[in-house]
Amino acid sequence: MVTIAAPRVVTPGGLLHDGVVEVVDGRITGVRPLSAAGADVVLDSGVLLPGLVDLQVNGCFGTDFVDASERQWDELTTALPATGVTSLLPTFITAPVPHLAAALRRTAALLPRLPARPRARVLGVHVEGPFLAANRRGAHDPAHLCDPEPAAVEALLEAGGDLLALVTLAPERPGGLDAVRRLASAGVLVSLGHTDATAEQVEAAAGAGARKVTHLFNAQRPLHHREPGVVGQALADERLTLGLILDLHHVAAASCRVAFAAAPGRIALVTDAAAPAGMPPGRYRLGGEAVILEDGRPPLREDGTLAGSVLRLDEAVANAVGIGVDLVTAVDAATRVPADLIGRPDLGRIAPGAVADLVWMDDGLRTRATWVGGEPAFAAQPVTS
């Protein structure tokens, strides 16, 4: 057994002050108050929380996941715990369906070959597009947008197998609801995004099996008092979990507060990080096209369109707390909520039986150390033991 003590521990029941987490064989076996016996590892400040779960990561550290080499997959998944992320869905954006199918097959083949070491867990792949609305495409290449015809949907399902975990689509496209039903019946999480759907169409898609909305407020029909659109229906519909890019560039602070207030327990913080994340200003690639990163701004296409973000998920948690969201709710939105949505109730919580994916953050909510399956995966400095 290994025991880790911290001044504050985020648990499903709330904040435990001066708590100890017990770990045996990579799983949490107990959570208790600190006693005179002490602990094997003593964190002298900050907060211990579950490993962060990011359901939308296009790339980071200079690399786009969709065309990353085996070595780059190794490097990226080993580096991500420095941001607090212990589980993720790498995201492949719009491209021709054969290209996406090939990328899914290549990824399925290379993941088992990665060296055995603590790294961020790949829970599957998120395919964002190409079944998106042209007028809400954002940074997606319009040349490759298409309807979700049965053959295209089946091609992704066949190529992805168990790896295909999430598909973002616009349900108003011809065949959209049938695609939602087919994907959901195959066990794929369906998210509504880059969509001009009306509230009625969003409601129908949720009825057909969609359970998520991709980056709430961005690239979707906005809220209107007579036509609630994607945003209004998403906030009101308890069947839907709402991805939110809380970098304070994609969505204003007041809108983020509205989302947390209107949809308690249904906000999943995501980064939508692209290759420039963690890199200096310069030119990078997203979906095969150039993006430009300047200091203090998200990545942009050359026409000024937002192209993903450079957000860290620990930073998103800190931003949520900074705009007035309480710590436990903010952490929940980056841990338990996305883990439950993707069907992994063994992740995203500090509770007996859960996988021992843990993050130590300082008082400013910046990652100082990370454990994956109870094994150290990152440490900004040696922890006290």
Name the residue type at position 212: K
Per-residue pLDDT at 385 exceeds 90? no
What is the reported pLDDT for 132?
98
Q: What is the pLDDT of residues 69-104, one digit of tens each?
A: 999 999 999 999 999 999 999 999 999 999 999 999
Residue 194 DSSP class: S
Higher pLDDT, 303 or 128: 128
Cis omega before residue 81 (within 30°)? no
Strand partners, 189: 166
For the purposes of burial, counting CB atoms within 10 Å of the CB of 33, is it exposed (0-12), middle (13-18) or buried (19 or more)?
exposed
83 touches 313 (CB < 8 A): yes
Strand partners, 282: 293
What is the reported pLDDT for 2?
95
Exactly one of 54, 237, 247, 272 is catalytic; name it: 272
Please report where in the chains the tokens 């690239």 appear, as a residue. 219
Q: Is 224 annotated as a binding residue?
A: no
Domains and CATH numbers, the chain: 2-48+351-379 (2.30.40.10), 69-341 (3.20.20.140)
Mean pLDDT lowest among 119-123, 174-178, 238-242, 294-298: 294-298
For range 21-25, the mean pLDDT: 98
Q: Is 225 annotated as a binding residue?
A: no
Q: Is 311 annotated as a binding residue?
A: no
Per-residue pLDDT at 285 exceeds 90? no
Q: What is the pLDDT of residues 224-283, one digit of tens each?
A: 999 999 999 999 999 999 999 999 999 999 999 999 999 999 999 999 999 999 999 999
pLDDT band at 38 (very low <50, low <70, confident <90, very high): confident
Q: What is the pLDDT of residues 47-56, one digit of tens each?
A: 999 999 999 9
Q: Is 226 annotated as a binding residue?
A: yes
74 a catalytic residue: no
Q: What is the pLDDT of residues 316-357, one digit of tens each?
A: 999 999 999 999 999 999 999 999 999 999 999 999 999 999
Per-residue pLDDT at 42 exceeds 70? yes
Return the exposure string of 159-171: e unless at least 16 CB atoms fall within 10 Å of the residue's CB, then b: bbeebbbbbbbbb
Share of the chain above pLDDT 90, in %: 94
Q: What is the pLDDT of residues 119-146, one digit of tens each?
A: 999 999 999 999 999 999 999 999 999 9
What is the reported pLDDT for 384?
58
Q: Mean pLDDT of all residues in the chain? A: 96
Give the chain's radius of gyration (CA, Å). 20
Q: Is 140 annotated as a binding residue?
A: no
Q: Is 145 annotated as a binding residue?
A: no
Q: Is 194 annotated as a binding residue?
A: yes
What is the reported pLDDT for 213?
98
Residue 85 DSSP class: E
What is the reported pLDDT for 41?
95
